[in-house]
Amino acid sequence: MIPELGHFALILALCVALVQGTVPLYGAARGEPALMALGRMAALAQLALVGVAFAALTHAYLTSDFTVANVVANSHSAKPMLYKFTGVWGNHEGSMLLWTLILALFGAAVAAFGENLPETLRARVLAIQALLGVGFLAFLLFTSNPFERVFPPPADGNGLNPLLQDPGLAFHPPLLYLGYVGFSVAYAFAVAALIEGRVDAAWARWVRPWTLAAWCFLTLGIALGSWWAYYILGWGGFWFWDPVENASLMPWLAGTALLHSAIVVEKRDALKSWTVLLAILAFSLSLLGTFLVRSGVLTSVHAFAQDPARGLYILAFLLAVTGGGLGLYAWRAPALKPGGLFQPVSREGGLILNNLLLSTLAVAVLLGTLYPLFLDLLTGEKVSVGPPFFNATFVPICAPLFAALCVGPFLSWKRSDLWPALRRLQIAFAVSVAAALIAAFAIDGRSTLAAIAFGFGVWLILGTLAGALDRVAGGAGAMQRLRRLPRAFIGMSIAHAGLGVVVLGCVGAGAWNLEAMRAMKHGDRMSFAGYEFTLRGVEEVPGPNWIAERATLEVTRGGAPFTTLRPERRLFTVQRRLIAETAIQTNLVRDLYATLGESDGQGAWVVRLYFNPLAPWIWLGAAFCALGGFVSLTDRRLRVGAPSRRRTVLPPAAQPAE
């Protein structure tokens, strides 16, 4: 009964979305307030209906209702409660339902907090949001119904992919989707602006908080995914340039560029058409990611069950959304009036450089991801594009990006001088060069590139710090100035420094790590990275739905007990799949990382050890980036709904036109 309720709610939601997607658009074109006002009610109703459907599916999972095909295929009665819950989105249908729910959530948020948006703009944004909803609801109902029943019900389910039965991956999809889907709001705003034919500072001020919020969630989602890969795949790596990882990186890069270019629109009324394009692209690249993961066009370790029929549907949807947006762009964007002029050396100039480099990175990732597909189709040749390509493209583009990142905030709007900014950064520069030299000679001569990258990491942190100090220090009233720093500036500084921390982490874990592999018997001892590891035994441990071999590795340092590592190999009994559970001991500066391999059947086990300096900083830094975004969101100017007050103060005519 409850699954039918959920199914019914989905059908109703589709009907509501169809109304919400058309009537307010018509109302906005005709200037009918009653029709436009319909959008807000419909958006709230849609959230309620999709919420009911999601709750119904969750109920089916929590009660292990094996009359529902989706639950049978992806759940099992012996699964821990947490994974019964997260199993709701651990499969294709459920994750699409989560997408739709978050889409409805964002639509309802625009309806609820968009109090001060101009009526026509709000009506159009909500209508476009609803049209996106129509696409997803129809996709669910016609190709991927999560509420399909089976008869007769089997005694038990097939269980969830063991790789997904992990706290890191359980919450990775919701965060990622909050990011992907959050960009839909930027997309809706961009399309609405193109329909209205007007992009101004007020528009940018509405778009920015939504983009920023989406960007923060996407950052967290990607970081969580990378952390999961780090501790579960057992190779000590954290980023594999896998198509699915790249799929999430592309919208992130486009979104980062959008965040920065929207500032120029807001402050200087320039870069309008470019910003609108980025807003369309950020969401389109999110959809592209979904398409790549679910269509079977590319393979990846994380891909969902793939089905060409679904692939064709998503492709059609992708074409409609992206093609519609870009078509409208080609038609209407040339009419957007260019705004304020500026010199190449200025804040605007710096942000343009940032945008150029970020979009080049996004294009590089796109090419690297799709090149194997193109080549295979055109020539039948099979290649895979891996780390060498991405390292070769990312490093030369990131170098100027990072170099300029610290300088940009020192430049003033319109026109500026490079020299004073550089002089205020000279200490940071000197220390960074010293850090790179120390890294090159002291750590070891293995990789000059790593040493240079290390210098860049230090530069990002110190340069950002110098920027903040410059605002505060100097004579009396420093404390007061510190307190009066705008939240947006504090947030920016945290995020920029966080990026530096990520870079340091990547250098440490990627270039300076040590690894060792050995077959060990009980009592065997091995020295590694200044620690001694002794295998104290391997025992069988039963879990709720797995049986594990758990090794006990005693770690001593200079003879004194240091810690005990317990890596496991879990055999998931339902799926008969082996999953390694690594054991990681971290002190936030380095990780000791152990995985347990095969036994030779005669009392020896393969043990792999990694020493990963600075590895935790990768995720710590990413968390700083997201934190910076959230801090920036609390800035008065960006508070959702606040912009309108400024809008009345700042009519278009009062904009500095230069």
Binding residues vs another protein (CB under 8 A): 273, 277, 280-281, 284, 291, 295-299, 308, 311-312, 315, 318-319, 322-323, 326-327, 329-330, 333-334, 370, 373-374, 376-377, 380-382, 384, 576-578, 597-598, 600-602, 606
Neighbours of 318 (CB within 10 A): 17
- In one-letter notation, the amino acid at residue 146 is P
In whole angstroms, how close is the CB of 238 to another protein at the nearest point? 21
Q: Which is nearer to another protein, 313 or 429 (CB)?
A: 313
In whole angstroms, how close is the CB of 42 to another protein at the nearest point? 30
User: What is the spatial distance between Cα 505 and Cα 372, in angstroms, rounded to a whole number?
Assistant: 30
In whole angstroms, how close is the CB of 625 to another protein at the nearest point? 28
Q: Which is nearer to another protein, 336 or 625 (CB)?
A: 336
Q: Which is nearer to another protein, 230 or 274 (CB)?
A: 274
Q: Which is nearer to another protein, 368 or 621 (CB)?
A: 368
User: What is the spatial distance between Cα 524 and Cα 145, in angstroms, rounded to a whole number?
Assistant: 55
Q: Which is nearer to another protein, 2 or 385 (CB)?
A: 385
Q: Which is nearer to another protein, 86 or 144 (CB)?
A: 144
In whole angstroms, how close is the CB of 604 to another protein at the nearest point? 10
Q: How far is CA 606 from the centre of its chain?
A: 35
Q: Which is nearer to another protein, 585 or 599 (CB)?
A: 599
In whole angstroms, how close is the CB of 183 to another protein at the nearest point? 16
In whole angstroms, how close is the CB of 40 to another protein at the nearest point? 32
Alpha helices in 233-346 (DSSP H): 243-268, 272-295, 308-318, 324-332
Residue 402 buriedness (CB in 10 A; 0-12 / 13-18 / 19+): buried
Q: Which is nearer to another protein, 116 or 143 (CB)?
A: 143
Q: Establish whether the linkage from the previous residue to 372 is cis, with ω within 30° of 0.
A: no
Which of 199, 178, 209 is CA-nearest to residue 328? 199
Alpha helices in 439-523 (DSSP H): 448-472, 478-484, 487-511
In whole angstroms, how close is the CB of 497 to another protein at the nearest point? 34
In whole angstroms, how close is the CB of 95 to another protein at the nearest point? 20
Q: Which is nearer to another protein, 559 or 601 (CB)?
A: 601
Q: In which residue are the tokens 């000679």 written? A: 441
Q: In which residue are the tokens 């040590």 written? A: 514
Q: Which is nearer to another protein, 308 or 344 (CB)?
A: 308
In whole angstroms, how close is the CB of 300 to another protein at the nearest point? 9
Backbone angles phi, psi at 73, to 5 degrees: -70, -25
User: What is the spatial distance between Cα 422 and Cα 406, in angstroms, rounded to a whole number?
Assistant: 9
Tokens of 44: 């709230």
Which of 175, 101, 129 is CA-nearest to residue 17? 129
In whole angstroms, how close is the CB of 349 to another protein at the nearest point? 21
Neighbours of 434 (CB within 10 A): 12
Which of 171, 159, 152 is CA-nearest to residue 76? 159
User: What is the spatial distance between Cα 63 and Cα 98, in angstroms, rounded to a whole number?
Assistant: 19
Which of 97, 107, 279, 289 is CA-nearest to residue 174? 97
Q: Which is nearer to another protein, 543 or 597 (CB)?
A: 597
In whole angstroms, how close is the CB of 20 to another protein at the nearest point? 26
**Per-residue H/E/C for 605-643:** EEEEEEEEECHHHHHHHHHHHHHHHHHHHCCHHHCCCCH
Q: Which is nearer to another protein, 384 or 527 (CB)?
A: 384
Q: In which residue are the tokens 């609801």 written? A: 137
Q: Which is nearer to another protein, 299 or 563 (CB)?
A: 299
In whole angstroms, how close is the CB of 382 to another protein at the nearest point? 4
79 and 130 in contact (C-beta within 8 Å)?
Answer: no
221 and 179 in contact (C-beta within 8 Å)?
Answer: yes
In whole angstroms, how close is the CB of 384 to another protein at the nearest point? 7
**Contacts of 73 by beta carbon, 8 Å cutoff, 6+ apart:** 91, 157, 158
Which of 392, 403, 331, 335 is CA-nearest to residue 364? 392
